[in-house]
Amino acid sequence: MEYITDGKIEQSVPTAVTLGNFDGLHMGHRSLISIMKSKAEENNLKSIVFSFFPHPMFLFDSKDKTKALILSREEKRQTVESIGVDCYVEYPFTSEFSSMEPEDFARKLIFEDLKCKVLVVGFNYHFGKMAKGDAALLKEIGKEYGAEVICVPSVNFLDERVSSTRIRKALMEADISLANTLLTVPYWAYGEVTHGNRIGHEIGFPTMNIDADDKKLFPPNGVYATRILVDGKMYSSVTNVGMAPTVNGKKKRVETHAFDFDMDVYGKFVTVYFFKFLRPEQKFGSVDELKNRLFSDAEDAKQYFLSEDFKIWKEKY
């Protein structure tokens, strides 16, 4: 997959494009990309996902006050690539760019630079200065360039629109099941395994300290049933997200204990998939109390992986 981040987006062949912020790449986003890919194949066009970095919410006030991403920049790139498109454009989002008139954005960038012949957008997509541009404007300008503009209705689940905001809310409420359903894949975190305080090793419960992106939205501090991908192999695991209050932790951490695992993985990049919230983080009276509870948490996670709830994910994860 071609990956463009420097704003040099000029194409030499006609393209099919879908536009959006695409945080989470949830089932609604995947619908747009699927339609775009089908149109690209039908018309022998290069397929392009066009998004932005940083996310506009980091530059402006947003209705979504979390100011955090469902997918980190690297996680998003990996996900777009896994979906299978020819090119992913991550256009630099600056104050200057945000003041561009909608007509200029559509004409110059989309229909001229990208040579777009099929454009796929969501029904409520807005763009350009003061978000004045919409699908109707894109259709009008598209006609001038002989381009087809497809406006896709929202995707609903349980009679409510699927959106990144809805998924953020589910994550903040530790409703991992709903978040995973809307994402179509388990919520996940990718990062490097770094050295921690080694207390887990000392009590016979070794953990991987995962250095995840600090702009990523994490569910509430607590313990989760997870699976971890290391060197292409998946292991059942239990993960703590939080401050490690029993040992006076100072920084938010993601610590994973993988079952039946005995490898030196410092410096490796791993992926942790979240499936179920087990309990909130708590401070114990002693390290022995913490140790006993950690082993109890591990048993709870193992029971989850034997349950009916995990069956829908079992084959792939």
Domain regions of the chain by residue span: 2-161, 186-314
| φ, ψ for residue 273, nearest 5 deg | -105, 130
DSSP letters spanning 265-310: -TT-EEEEEEEEEEEE----SSHHHHHHHHHHHHHHHHHHHTSGGG
> Is there a contact between 62 and 54 (Cβ–Cβ < 8 Å)?
no
The yes-or-no answer to whether 2-161 and 186-314 have a common fold is no
CATH of span 2-161? 3.40.50.620
pLDDT score at 283? 86
pLDDT score at 247? 47
| φ, ψ for residue 81, nearest 5 deg | -65, -40
pLDDT score at 45? 98
Q: The CATH number of 186-314 is which of 2.40.30.30, 3.40.50.970, 1.10.3470.10, 3.30.160.20?
A: 2.40.30.30
pLDDT score at 197? 67
| pLDDT per residue rounded down to tens, the chain (317 residues) | 999 999 999 999 999 999 999 999 999 999 999 999 999 999 999 999 999 999 988 887 656 556 899 999 999 999 999 999 999 999 999 999 999 999 999 999 999 999 999 999 999 999 999 899 999 999 999 999 999 999 999 999 999 999 999 999 999 999 999 999 999 999 999 999 998 766 666 677 889 999 988 889 999 999 999 999 999 999 999 999 987 655 455 457 899 999 999 888 999 999 999 999 999 998 888 888 888 999 999 999 999 999 999 999 999 99
